[in-house]
């Protein structure tokens, strides 16, 4: 009898192999966020002259965005892959093995996290290569990686939930623009305290994505900001817990095996 | 219900929300080592029955046991006992055939040193050795079906469910799969529960056939017994000259009683296939030119027609209408 860990490892390995064989699923989550980093850094350079702006390096400021954007890509890829397993009947095949239901989620998320770690390492390396100095030091980079894994876990679980609810890869991909809206109505491009008072600032303040970005940003440009980290980790953990609970509940309905 | 049976069901029902009963109180009793053909048109309830027996869909009511285990109360034990190839080949297009088998062997907890051997053995058996390391998305429909079958056999199940395993396959692939199913039942004593909408498949492969329509089993027995219930073969003649219809009717009346025919004149033979040569001689002796002469054996479609009042949908092309001696007879 295989242990839960053995089963999860087998499925995580399959998830990684699948992704490696779809180059677009590796290139897009790495290249597109870095392209957005380049565009935003060039276009928003003047922001650093605003009094109260937290850093004089726009690249350091914007570098937080690829981490969250990359996690959103992970959401889409995880959800799409899982929906494809439902559509092809592969989920039913797995259901006929002695595998525990929850292992399906753990395995899929394990693969997503493994690839997410690769993304994060590339973002950090690119940041260092273009001159960004992490204010929190090497330990901060490790904390950043841990935080990114938590965000990928949370968003990946949302992708699984969407896949389980819809059973359609196309439907999961259709949700991607909606997730992206959250990114654009956050503090992605400017600190919240420098936004003019109005609806955008209000929306950015209630948007959880703002706190995820600010958690990453604090480690890069501020150093050790306990409040930003607590809010970032807290919100990511809450989203992960809710999304995993929803996905697990939907999985039991989807499997419906006795 | 007996503990000796491989598959048994009693008043098994499955209802879906806002829909009719997909399965409406069926009883099943399948012996160990038997090939049981579950024949019916699309939407008859075949796949729903398989899903319930394979523990993938809970019954609304009724009892079912597979391998002696209740499908509702002892799902994990049932799943250890069975292998299943469901209606669509459930494969990952990005993995190779060998990777599929290794993953399945691992998840089925085969000993580590046995996994590769078992994968190689099954690849050999289903004729996929050359394609073993190619990704499945490049496989043909027949190759996918064979891999699906191999995956269902990885853990050496005692009972095998095959849901329309040959739908969409060419005749060569279909025949190869039939041979493997026969071998499994004969050499390894595997019980096979096979759904199909192909009359020929049920006829040549199954030891017994259950015919399902609208969720109910309308007939059950060996193919020969079911056909014998319906009666003797008929012969149909189409005269080359339509004006010769009366003469043809008179000649044929010597050999059997008239039955309805859309295209020509038909009789149900008094004594069976042996009369055929006499009919040909009689027609020739009377210098009656004929456009077509066909022997029509009682078929499972006739059984379906007799039990339901309609023909088995989608099976017309696979009917058992046999031209004389396997050939269509041209005009004399």
Q: What are phi and psi of B159, to 5 degrees?
A: -130, 135
- By the 8 A CB rule, do B265 and B249 touch? yes
Whether residue A94 lies within 8 A of chain B, CB to CB, comes out as yes
pLDDT band for position B321 (cuts 50, 70, 90): very low
Q: Report CA dihedral (A38, A40, A46, A48) to the nearest 10 degrees.
A: -90
pLDDT, position B173: 84
- By the 8 A CB rule, do A4 and A100 touch? yes
Q: Give the integer Cα–Cα distance in Å for B36 and B55.
A: 19
Whether residue A3 lies within 8 A of chain B, CB to CB, comes out as no
Do the Cβ atoms of A88 and B58 come within 8 Å?
Answer: no
All structural domains of chain B, each given as residue ranges with its CATH number in brackets, are 7-221 (3.40.50.300), 229-326 (3.30.70)
- By the 8 A CB rule, do B62 and B11 touch? yes
> Is residue B261 over pLDDT 80?
no
Query: B30 CB contacts (<8 Å, ≥6 apart)?
Result: B5, B6, B7, B8, B36, B191, B193, B208
pLDDT band for position B268 (cuts 50, 70, 90): confident
Nearest-CB residue to A18 (from B78, B89, B94): B94
Alpha helices in A21-100 (DSSP H): 23-43, 58-62, 64-88, 90-95
CA B316 from centroid of its chain's CA atoms: 14
Structure tokens at B307: 């039990």
Nearest chain A residue (CA) to B148: A93
> Is residue A179 over pLDDT 70?
yes
Residue B196's nearest CA partner among B26, B24, B312 is B312
What digits encode the pLDDT tens for the residues B51-83?
999 999 999 999 999 999 999 999 999 999 999
DSSP letter for B197, please.
S
Q: Give the integer Cα–Cα distance in Å for A20 and A34.
A: 20
Question: Which residues of B fall below an 8 Å CB-CB distance to A?
Answer: 54-58, 71-76, 78-80, 82-84, 86-95, 99, 103-104, 106-109, 135, 151
DSSP letter for A193, please.
G
> Is residue B260 over pLDDT 80?
no
Whether residue A45 lies within 8 A of chain B, CB to CB, comes out as no
CA angle B276, B279, B284 (to 5 degrees): 130
Nearest-CB residue to A10 (from B74, B79, B106): B106
Do the Cβ atoms of B106 and A88 come within 8 Å?
Answer: no
Q: What are phi and psi of B7, to 5 degrees?
A: -135, 130
- By the 8 A CB rule, do B47 and A92 touch? no
Whether residue A96 lies within 8 A of chain B, CB to CB, comes out as yes
pLDDT band for position B329 (cuts 50, 70, 90): very low
Q: Report CA dihedral (A12, B132, B83, B199) to the nearest 10 degrees.
A: 140
Contacts of A14 in chain B (CB under 8 A): 92, 95, 103
Number of separate domains in chain A: 1
Contacts of A7 in chain B (CB under 8 A): 107
pLDDT, position B331: 30
Q: Give the integer Cα–Cα distance in Å for A68 and A119.
A: 11
**More confident position, B226 or B271:** B226
Q: Give the integer Cα–Cα distance in Å for B141 and B111.
A: 31
CA angle B110, B111, B115 (to 5 degrees): 65
* Mutation site for B-interface testing, chosen from A93, A98, A111, A252 by largest number of B Cβ within 10 Å: A93
Contacts of A92 in chain B (CB under 8 A): 56, 86, 90
Q: Give the integer Cα–Cα distance in Å for A250 and A239.
A: 16
What digits encode the pLDDT tens for the residues B183-214?
999 999 999 999 998 888 888 899 999 999 99
Do the Cβ atoms of A22 and B106 come within 8 Å?
Answer: no
- By the 8 A CB rule, do A53 and A217 touch? no
Query: CA-based Rg of chain A, rounded to a whole angstrom?
Result: 19
Minimum distance, in Å, between the CA of residue A118 and any CA atom of chain B = 21
Minimum distance, in Å, between the CA of residue A119 and any CA atom of chain B = 22
pLDDT band for position B272 (cuts 50, 70, 90): low
Q: What is the DSSP string of B106-127?
A: HHTT--HHHHHHHHHHHHHHTT
- By the 8 A CB rule, do A223 and A213 touch? no
Do the Cβ atoms of B90 and A90 come within 8 Å?
Answer: yes
Minimum distance, in Å, between the CA of residue A254 and any CA atom of chain B = 10
Do the Cβ atoms of B79 and A98 come within 8 Å?
Answer: yes
Nearest chain B residue (CA) to A101: B76
Task: List the 10-29 stretch of A: residues with Cβ below 8 A of B.
Answer: 10, 14, 17-18, 21-22
pLDDT band for position B303 (cuts 50, 70, 90): confident
Question: How many CB atoms within 10 Å of residue A163?
Answer: 30
Structure tokens at A178: 């909606």
Nearest-CB residue to A7 (from B58, B79, B107): B107
Query: B91 CB contacts (<8 Å, ≥6 apart)?
Result: A88, A90, A93, B100, B136, B139, B144, B147, B148, B151
3-state DSSP of A91-123? HHHHHCCCCCHHHHHHHHHHHHHHHHHHHHHHH
Q: Give the integer Cα–Cα distance in Å for B271 and B261.
A: 20
Minimum distance, in Å, between the CA of residue A82 and any CA atom of chain B = 11
End-to-end CA gap in chain B: 60
Classify burial at A9, counting beta carbons within 10 Å of its beta carbon; exposed 0-12, middle 13-18, buried 19 or more: middle
Q: Which domain holds residue A32?
A: 4-255
Do the Cβ atoms of B72 and A7 come within 8 Å?
Answer: no
Q: Give the integer Cα–Cα distance in Å for B160 and B154.
A: 11
Which H helix or E strand runs over B300? helix B300-308
Whether residue A1 lies within 8 A of chain B, CB to CB, comes out as yes
Structure tokens at B252: 């044929």
Nearest chain A residue (CA) to B100: A14
Query: Between β-strands B159-163 and B191-196, what pairing exists: parallel, antiparallel or unpaired?
Result: parallel
Q: Rounded mean pLDDT of A88-115?
A: 88
pLDDT, position A182: 92
Q: Does ipTM surpass 0.90 in this model?
A: no
Nearest chain A residue (CA) to B69: A258
Do the Cβ atoms of B75 and A258 come within 8 Å?
Answer: yes
- By the 8 A CB rule, do B147 and B155 touch? no
Distances (CA, A) of B224 to B84, B147, B297: 28, 32, 11
Q: What is the DSSP string of B127-165?
A: T-TTTTTSBGGG--HHHHHHHHHHHHHTT--SEEEEEST
Q: Report CA dihedral (B264, B268, B274, B278) to the nearest 10 degrees.
A: -50
Residue B206's nearest CA partner among B54, B36, B8 is B36
Do the Cβ atoms of B99 and A96 come within 8 Å?
Answer: no
Minimum distance, in Å, between the CA of residue B94 and any CA atom of chain A = 6
Q: What are phi and psi of B145, to 5 degrees?
A: -65, -40
Nearest-CB residue to B90 (from A10, A92, A258): A92
pLDDT, position A143: 97
pLDDT band for position B320 (cuts 50, 70, 90): very low
pLDDT band for position B318 (cuts 50, 70, 90): very low
Residue B203's nearest CA partner among B107, B318, B66, B314 is B318
Query: Between β-strands B21-30 and B7-15, what pairing exists: parallel, antiparallel or unpaired?
Result: antiparallel
Chain A and chain B share a number of CB contacts under 8 A equal to 79
Q: Rounded mean pLDDT of A105-111?
A: 90
């Amino acid at each position: 009898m295989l242990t839960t860990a053995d089963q999860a490892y087998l499925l995580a390995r399959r998830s990684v192999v699948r992704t490696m064989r779809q180059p677009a699923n590796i290139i897009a989550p790495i290249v597109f966020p870095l392209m957005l980093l380049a565009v935003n850094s060039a276009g928003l350079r003047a922001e650093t002259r605003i009094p109260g702006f937290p850093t004089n390096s726009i690249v350091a400021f914007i570098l937080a965005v690829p981490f969250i954007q990359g996690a959103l890509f992970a959401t889409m890829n995880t959800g799409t892959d899982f929906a494809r397993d439902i559509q092809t009947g592969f989920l039913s095949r797995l259901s006929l093995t002695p595998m525990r239901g929850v292992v399906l989620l753990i395995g899929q998320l394990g693969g997503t996290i493994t690839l997410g770690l690769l993304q994060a390492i590339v973002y950090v390396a690119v940041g260092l290569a273009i001159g960004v100095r992490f204010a929190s030091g090497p330990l901060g980079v490790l904390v950043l990686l841990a935080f990114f894994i938590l965000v990928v876990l949370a968003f990946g679980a949302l992708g699984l939930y969407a896949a389980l609810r819809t059973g359609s890869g196309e439907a999961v991909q259709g949700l991607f623009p909606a997730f992206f809206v959250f990114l654009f109505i956050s503090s992605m491009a400017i600190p919240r305290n420098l936004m003019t008072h109005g609806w955008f600032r209000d929306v950015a303040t209630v948007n959880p994505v703002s706190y995820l970005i600010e958690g990453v940003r604090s480690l890069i440009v501020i150093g050790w900001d306990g409040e930003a980290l607590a809010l970032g980790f807290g919100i990511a953990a809450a989203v992960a817990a809710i999304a995993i609970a929803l996905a697990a509940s939907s999985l039991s309905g989807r499997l419906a095996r006795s | 219900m007996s503990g000796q049976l491989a598959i048994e069901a009693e008043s098994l029902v499955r209802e879906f929300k806002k829909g009719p009963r997909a399965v409406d109180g069926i009883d099943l009793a399948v012996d160990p080592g038997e090939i049981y053909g579950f024949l019916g048109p699309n939407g008859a309830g075949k796949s729903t029955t398989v899903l319930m027996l394979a523990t993938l869909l809970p019954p609304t009511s009724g009892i079912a046991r597979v391998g002696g285990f209740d499908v509702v109360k002892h799902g994990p034990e049932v799943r250890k006992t069975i292998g299943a190839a469901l209606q669509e080949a459930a494969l990952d297009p990005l993995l190779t055939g060998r990777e599929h088998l290794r993953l399945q062997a691992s998840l089925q907890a085969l000993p580590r040193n046995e996994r590769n051997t078992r994968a190689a053995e099954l690849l050999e058996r289903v004729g996929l050795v050359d394609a073993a390391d190619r990704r499945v998305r490049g496989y043909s429909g027949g190759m996918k079906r064979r891999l699906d079958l191999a995956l269902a056999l990885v853990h050496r199940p005692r009972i095998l469910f095959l849901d329309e395993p040959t739908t969409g396959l060419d005749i060569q692939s279909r025949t190869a799969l039939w041979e493997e199913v026969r071998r499994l039942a004969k050499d390894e004593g595997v019980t096979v529960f096979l759904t199909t909408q192909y009359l020929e498949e049920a006829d040549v492969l199954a030891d017994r056939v259950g015919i399902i329509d609208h969720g109910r089993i309308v007939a059950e027995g060996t193919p020969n017994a079911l056909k014998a219930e319906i009666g003797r073969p008929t012969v149909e003649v189409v005269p080359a000259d339509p004006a010769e219809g009366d003469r043809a009717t008179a000649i044929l009346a010597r050999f059997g009683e008239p039955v309805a025919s859309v295209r020509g004149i038909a009789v149900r033979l008094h004594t069976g296939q042996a009369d055929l040569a006499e009919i040909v001689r009689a027609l020739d002796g009377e210098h009656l030119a004929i456009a077509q002469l066909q022997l029509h054996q009682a078929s499972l479609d006739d059984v379906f027609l007799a039990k339901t009042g309609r023909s088995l949908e989608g099976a017309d092309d696979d009917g058992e209408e046999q031209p004389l001696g396997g050939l269509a007879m041209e005009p004399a």
